[in-house]
Amino acid sequence: MFVVKSNEGTVYEALNHFNMWGTRKIGSPEGAQNVTVSISEFLPNGGATMSASAKERIYCVLRGAVTIGDEAGNKHELNENDMIYIPPNEKRDMAVNGIVAARVLVIVINIKS
């Protein structure tokens, strides 16, 4: 068992993201092997370009609002406390809605083959 305090974590920049920074709170090397939990901070006009990941993802909006789009052109507006599940290899993009910075809890499930 381990505790991660609010001022702890590893800051990183994510590929295909812009006007954002992330803080990995739990994952490897912190101790968890099969899940990574991060908090992403998106500035207004921030987001992510259309891309896919081989890992399952869950996004939960903690502050602000974002729109998640898929390759088929569907748009999903998420407000505070809304969540979305994204299966492995599904392309998605993200855009911050409005002028309030968005904070998103990101849970990534590391599938082992």
CATH of domain 10-109: 2.60.120.10
Phi, psi (deg, nearest 5) at residue 25: -100, -40
Averaged pLDDT score across all residues of the chain = 93
pLDDT of 30 above 70 = no
Q: 40-57: per-residue pLDDT in tens?
A: 999 999 999 999 999 999
For residue 12, give the H/E element and its range.
strand 10-12
Domain boundaries, the chain: 10-109
